[in-house]
Amino acid sequence: MSLSLGIVERLNRARGDLRMGVPVVLTEEGAGAVAVAVEALEPGRLADLRLLGEPVLAITARRAETLKARVYDDDLARIELPDAAGIEWLRAVADPADDLRLPMKGPLRALRGGGAGLARAALALAKSAHLLPAAVLVPVADPLRLAAQHGLTVLPLEEARAELSRGSPLHPVVSARVPMVASQAGRVHVFRPEDGGEEHYAIEIGRPDRGLPVLARLHSACFTGDVLGSLKCDCGPQLRSALARMGEEGAGVLLYLNQEGRGIGLANKMRAYSLQDQGFDTVEANHRLGFEDDERDFRIGAGILRQMGFAAVRLLTNNPAKIRMMEANGIRVTERVPLHVGRNEFNAAYLATKAAKSGHLA
């Protein structure tokens, strides 16, 4: 029997640490660094980090592009912290909220040479914790000793890197009958990932034949659209229309995936909304925050469908990326069923951007 933590458990602990502003220790091939997310960093802890060595700020290439910082590491930039840089400076670099009011943050001196693996892992962790993708790292000579002294979580990247990129296995937890407006013959299945992340749900309408392509939709959680009836997107109408269509046909599966804001989390989605109010479109807003156009993992949906016994779907979607991902993960898409509902004066530009920049189909 062993009570020690495995790498998946340590990764989940590390995400929680970062959300609380607690540093984690990253190691790789003899090198090590203390890393902390900028969004949760406090002045006292920054001062303590400076006592350990020379801090470096890691930001994504998307954020660096906005700040006109040089990118020498492909997908990220490592920025040297000025001696006078404090929490306000760090947050201004990480968070685009005041970019238009205070556009000058530099000059930003980007580092080149040396490995960027530790910085890349810190950014991946911050993203997976739904924090702004910006982290302060301080290289340390004896990372394991430092971690033991301060009770910090240690992540050897030789073990952690594969876990950061792979989809966590999902396991069914429970299912129960739920009569709905769309269909009285409804059942909700709850799936829980091994890595401690958000649970995902499958809403099964009727009793779909596992031997036939099932009418299916991958629907990403949208608190503002699904719950509040926001007019800034078409998510709520798509959710209700998809369920109604399945109810009419007597069978279907809607996967409700907890990937709010295209996978960036509700807080970052609200930051993107604020940027849209400044005149940026939805893709530009994501880029200014340091994210890609779409950070969702559609492998989750394919995995749930396979566990439920489905091999083929008629997919309710306007997004060709969902079709490609289903096919790439062993779910055959026999038909794309268009889903055009919910257009209004508040989301017309948003829908146009999805078509022009994200390839959504008419």
**Residue keyed to tokens 């709520």:** 236
Q: Could you confirm whether 296 is annotated as catalytic?
A: yes
Length of the chain (residues)? 362
Q: Of all helices (H) and strands (E), which one includes residue 287?
A: helix 282-289
User: What angle in degrees, to the nearest 10, is found between the helix axes of 117-128 and 157-165?
Assistant: 40
Q: Could you confirm whether 17 is annotated as catalytic?
A: no
Distance CA 262, CA 362 (A): 20
Distance CA 175, CA 240 (A): 21
135, 58 contact by CB (below 8 A): yes
Find the angle CA(74)-CA(32)-CA(149) to the nearest 5 degrees: 145
107 CB neighbour count, 10 Å cutoff: 9
User: How is residue 287 written in tokens?
Assistant: 């880029």
Q: What spatial distance separates the first Cα and last Cα of the chain, rounded to whole Å?
A: 57
In 247-346, at which residue ranges do the beta strands (DSSP E only) sit?
Answer: 251-257, 312-316, 332-337
The one catalytic residue among 166, 207, 296, 314: 296
Listing DSSP states for 16-71 in one string gives HHHHTT--EEEEETTEEEEEEEGGG--HHHHHHHHHHS--EEEEEHHHHHHHT---
Find the angle CA(138)-CA(143)-CA(146) to the nearest 5 degrees: 95
341, 297 contact by CB (below 8 A): no
The one catalytic residue among 75, 166, 294, 299: 294
- Active-site positions? 294, 296
